[in-house]
Amino acid sequence: MYKSINWTLRQATGQCSWKRLAAYRALCSTLMRSSSADAATLSPDAVQRQLSELPVERIRNFSIIAHVDHGKSTLADRLLELTGAIARNAGQNQVLDNLQVERERGITVKAQTASIFYKHRNATYLLNLIDTPGHVDFSNEVSRSLAACDGVILLVDACHGVQAQTVANYHLAKQRQLAIVPVLNKIDIKHANPDQVTKDMQLLFGIETASVLRVSAKLGTGVEQVLQRVIETIPHPRVQRDCDFRALIFDSWFDKYRGALNLIYVLNGQLQPGQDIQSLATKKMYNVKTLSLLRPAECPLETLSAGQVGLLACNMRNSKESIIGDTLHLKHQAATAAGSYKPQQPIVFAGIFPVDQSRHVALRSAIDKTVLNDSAVTVSVDSSPALGQGWRLGFLGLLHLEVFCQRLQQEHDVEPIITAPSVTYRIVLSNPRLIKQHGRNTLDISNAALLPEPNSIEQYHEPLVLGTIITPSDYVGPIIGLCVERRGVQQSCVNIDEQRMLMQYVLPLSEIILDFHDRLKSLSSGYASFSYEDHGYHLTHLVRLDIHLNGRNCEELCRIVHVSKALGVARQMVNKLKELIPRQMVQIAIQACVGSKVLARETIKAYRKDVTAKLYGGDVTRRMKLLKQQAEGKKKMRSIANIRVPHDTFIDVLKR
Ligand SMILES: Nc1nc2c(ncn2[C@@H]2O[C@H](COP(=O)(O)OP(=O)(O)OP(=O)(O)O)[C@@H](O)[C@H]2O)c(=O)[nH]1
């Protein structure tokens, strides 16, 4: 055990603060359970011995999937306690949610893995458990995790019943033909209605009512049966040990001292430190430095064999080299792709700029490292005349964007300027010169500044989503009203039971990214749930013209307008802004989904004048000098952060 503690301490001292905290917590729990003779007190040597004696038939790889707050992380806690991986009653909740942002918001944003040993009918099993996030914005984490699993625990809250994300996750698991262990949670709550929820599960998913387990993850009731059912229902991994090594990368993150760390699922053969491996996607070669098992603290291993999930540190320095879904194999050996994991495409885009250009390098490195820990984010270089050099990042939703920015601040101490989110429009070009230049007649535009002139565009297509809403019947009227207001077209509306309905709407993505979910929650007193999936692009004549001030949505200026009128409206708005805003209070970073080119140009002109006036207190000579330098491209604009006007003040000005 002391070897394990020393190793944990060594890891802890070489990691960034939140990881240090997590490792410290793991260390404390290791110490607390030192008197018990359970599996978690095993030294790394003993763990290795146990693993090498374990046949593939005694391994189970599974995820816990559910709607937000249905109790996944709490159930994971109980499973870890039951198997001795963490101490009972150690006052720890949601142990696998170890990011600061997860603890502050009380949600899981990153899937976490724990390998646990469990004795069933006198045989020891290795269970690789993955706790997944429930929010729709992090569904990429769920799909990624399912690529390394043979089954899932489908957890449903016995009070709230089946929700939109339960339906979406169930279909994800079905598509991958995974075994499903249905579990009802929170049966300790007085108004829980497990009988009704079980009937709903039968109706919606065709699950046998007798097979639904009932537990209270909070109190630990019935949790042991869950583990037994996992062993009996979920098949062992279909892998081969007596052939060459091949593994799937299904998660990765960045460690300051060890570079990119990869979580791998070994499909064939085995791997040892010192061996040379190669990436199938990049063809780059690496030397294996260390291998470890996450229990959930790292436990060093000498061999990782087929069927097992483990952490691999190799000399992967650059975060971009670690590709989720990539296959690793032995150097110079032919191999086929290990998995069929397809990453989800981002749907919400926002510009990220350093507050000051001197912080450019720090922000770039912070983005690189955070992206490695969140493979769903896409990054491309962007620049703005007002904000300087920056990046355009793609996210899976608004919460995803918020969480990413919070992580940049908390984990890397950078505070960027974030522009208002927008979606990707697909345009059909009419200009033969542009068609020739791009080699095709359609372009996907996620940055309005790159929009060609309107007379070169024949059609605008906007992205649509198929939204699923589950709501108590009492709120159906206002919710239909909201969907119609947001240009939604109803596809279906069915009764789940006497009290609840499931509705499906096709909605323009731009209508839901900002506040749709909040409105839905407030209209239904928090009872309705919403999830959505991609539904392709559709020809549109309408756009929502949003004007954003310092990244915030200014509601007074949101209009749904005809595409062809958008530019005119944008111009009018610039004039209105000029009238309304006192010169010394000029705002910048005004954007619109369409037509922002004109808007930005006009605004930046006004901004430049006023910024210089403000910065130099009307000193004409210095102001002229600065303008001249800017014109010559020698001097970059000063950051807007220095002259930011509070949003409320600005709204007051607009209302006058
Ligand atoms: N009464 C009761 N509360 C529970 C039970 N299981 C979980 N909870 C509570 O439900 C809330 C959400 O639990 P989590 O475990 O964070 O839920 P989650 O599904 O992991 O949440 P996300 O990761 O955000 O999707 C917490 O306040 C838990 O204490 C239970 O069996 N009974």
The Cα–Cα gap between 95 and 502 comes to: 34
Q: What is the pTM of this model?
A: 0.71
**Ligand 1 near 623 CB (within 6 A):** no
CA distance 116 to 127: 5
Three-state secondary structure of 384-432: ECCCEEEEEEEECCHHHHHHHHHHHHHHHCCCCEECCCECCEEEEECCH
Binding site membership of 71 for ligand 1 (Cβ less than 6 Å): yes
- Indicate whether residue 533 lines ligand 1 (CB < 6 A): no
286-300, 332-346, 422-436, 464-478, range with greatest mean pLDDT: 464-478
**Model confidence at 521: pLDDT above 70:** yes
Per-residue confidence (pLDDT) for residue 323, from 0 to 100: 81
Q: How confident is the model at residue 214 (pLDDT cuts 50, 70, 90)?
A: very high
Residue 603: band (very low, low, confident or very high) from pLDDT cuts 50, 70, 90:
very low
Q: Give pLDDT tens digits for 441-479.
A: 998 877 666 767 767 878 878 889 999 999 999 999 999
% residues pLDDT > 70 (the chain): 69
Class (C level, CATH) for 56-233? alpha beta
d(CA 528, CA 517): 9
Distance 66 CA to ligand 1 centre (A): 11
pLDDT at 80: 85
Describe the chain by its helix, strand, coil percentages, rounded to 5: 40, 30, 35
The H or E element that residue 614 is part of is helix 596-615
Q: 3-state DSSP call for residue 294?
A: strand
Q: Grade residue 14 by pLDDT with cuts at 50, 70 and 90.
A: very low
What is the four-CA torsion angle of 494, 496, 500, 505, rounded to 10 degrees?
A: -40
Give the H/E segment covering residue 323.
none
* pLDDT at residue 178 in the model: 93
pLDDT at 181: 95
- Rounded to the nearest angstrom, the gap between the alpha carbon of residue 77 and the centroid of all alpha carbons in its chain is 22
| Low-confidence winner among 114-118, 529-533, 581-585 (lowest mean pLDDT) | 581-585
Please answer whether residues 211 and 200 qualify as being in contact, where contact means their C-beta atoms are separated by less than 8 angstroms: no
Q: Residue 103 has what pLDDT?
A: 59
Q: Do 389 and 383 form a contact (C-beta atoms < 8 A)?
A: yes
**Check whether domain 246-330 has CATH 3.40.50.720, yes or no:** no
pLDDT at 89: 59
Is 216's C-beta closer than 6 angstroms to any atom of ligand 1? yes
Give me ligand 1 centre to Cα 159, in Å: 12
Tell me if the domain spanning 570-654 has CATH number 3.30.70.
yes
- Cβ pair 75, 63 in contact under 8 A: no
160 lines ligand 1 (CB under 6 A): no
Q: Whose CA is nearest to atom 24 of ligand 1?
A: 107
d(Cα 420, Cα 418) in Å, to the nearest integer?
7
Instruction: Say yes or no to pLDDT of 613 above 60.
Output: no
Give, for ligand 1, the residue of 70, 74, 141, 155 to mutate: max count of ligand atoms closer than 8 Å to Cβ. 74
Ligand 1: which atom is nearest the Cα of residue 134? 25
**pLDDT of 119 strictly over 60:** yes
Residue burial 228-250, b: 16+ Cβ < 10 Å; e: rest: ebbbebbebbebeeeeebbbbbb
- What pLDDT is stored for residue 448 in this prediction? 60
Averaged pLDDT, 234-244:
90
Give the residue, out of 68, 73, 103, 104, with the most ligand 1 atoms within 8 A of its beta carbon, to mutate for a pocket test. Answer: 73
* All residues at 6 or more sequence positions from 178 whose CB lies less than 8 Å from its CB, including other chains: 146, 149, 150, 151, 152
Strands (E), 269-320: 270-271, 276-279, 285-294, 298-301, 304-305, 309-314
Question: Of 192, 190, 229, 189, whose CA–CA distance to 212 is shortest?
Answer: 229
pLDDT at position 565 is 53
Cβ(186) to ligand 1 under 6 A? yes
Lowest mean pLDDT among 118-132, 308-322, 618-632: 618-632
CA pair distance 505, 452, nearest whole angstrom? 32
**Proportion of the chain above pLDDT 90, given as a percent:** 21
Average pLDDT, whole number, for the chain? Answer: 74
Q: Identical fold at 425-540 and 570-654?
A: yes
Task: Indicate whether residue 66 lines ligand 1 (CB < 6 A).
Answer: yes
Q: Shortest CA distance to 248 belongs to which of 117, 128, 139?
A: 128
Q: Which of 65, 69, 79, 131 to mutate to test the pocket of ligand 1 (most atoms within 8 A of CB)?
A: 69
Contact 458, 429 (CB under 8 A): yes
Distance between CA atoms of residues 134 and 392, nearest Å: 26
Q: How far apart are CA 424 and CA 416, in angstroms?
A: 22
Element (H, E) at 641: none
Find the mean pLDDT for residues 642-652: 33
Question: How many A from CA of 72 to the centre of ligand 1?
Answer: 7
Pairing state of beta strands 179-185 and 213-214? parallel
Please, what CATH class does the domain formed by 425-540 belong to? alpha beta
Distance, CA of 637 to CA of 626 (rounded, Å)? 9
Is 348-418 CATH 3.30.2130.30? no
Q: What is the pLDDT of residues 245-302, one digit of tens each?
A: 999 888 887 777 888 888 899 998 989 999 999 988 888 899 999 998 888 878 888 9
Q: What is the pLDDT of residue 398?
A: 78
Q: Quick check: CB of 72 below 6 Å from ligand 1?
A: yes
pLDDT at 558 over 60: no
DSSP string, 206-254: ---GGG-EE-BTTTTBTHHHHHHHHHHHSPPP--BSSS--EEEEEEEEE
Q: Is the dihedral of CA 92, 93, 95, 97 positive or negative?
A: negative
Is 166's C-beta closer than 6 angstroms to any atom of ligand 1? Answer: no
Domain boundaries, the chain: 2-40, 56-233, 246-330, 348-418, 425-540, 570-654
Q: In this structure, which residue's CA is closest to atom 23 in ligand 1? A: 108
Do the strands 388-395 and 378-384 form a parallel or antiparallel pair, or are they unpaired? antiparallel
pLDDT in tens, 302-315: 989 999 999 999 88
Residue-wise pLDDT tens digits, 63-99? 999 888 899 888 988 888 888 777 665 555 555 555 6
Mean per-residue pLDDT, 381-403: 79
| Distance from Cα 600 to the centre of ligand 1, integer Å | 45
CA–centroid distance, residue 330 to ligand 1 (Å)? 42
The gap from C-alpha 405 to its chain's centroid, in whole angstroms, comes to: 12
Question: 134 in ligand 1 pocket by Cβ < 6 Å?
Answer: yes
Q: What tens digit of pLDDT does each residue of 128-186 get? A: 988 887 777 777 778 778 888 999 999 999 998 998 889 888 988 998 899 999 999 99
pLDDT score of 13 more than 90:
no
Q: By CB neighbour count within 10 A (0-12 exposed, 13-18 middle, 19+ buried), where does 579 fall? A: exposed
User: What is the CA(74)–ligand 1 centre distance, in A?
Assistant: 6
Q: Which range has the top average pLDDT, 9-18, 551-560, 615-624?
A: 551-560
Place of tokens 């918020």: 402
Q: Is the CB of 112 under 6 A from ligand 1?
A: no
Does pLDDT of 333 surpass 50?
yes
pLDDT for position 110: 64
Binding site feature residues for GTP: 66-73, 131-135, 185-188
Return the pLDDT at 386.
Answer: 59
425 band by pLDDT with thresholds 50, 70 and 90: confident
Specify the ligand 1 atom closest to the Cα of 108: 23
Beta carbon of 69 within 6 Å of any ligand 1 atom: yes
**What average pLDDT does range 547-557 have in this prediction?**
43
Taking each helix axis as running N to C, give the angle between helix 2-13 and helix 44-53, from 0 to 180 degrees, rounded to the nearest 10. 110
- Stretch (H or E) spanning 546: none
Atom of ligand 1 nearest to the CA of 155: 19
Q: Compute the distance between CA of residue 557 and CA of residue 519 in angstroms, rounded to an integer.
A: 19
* pLDDT score, position 346: 81
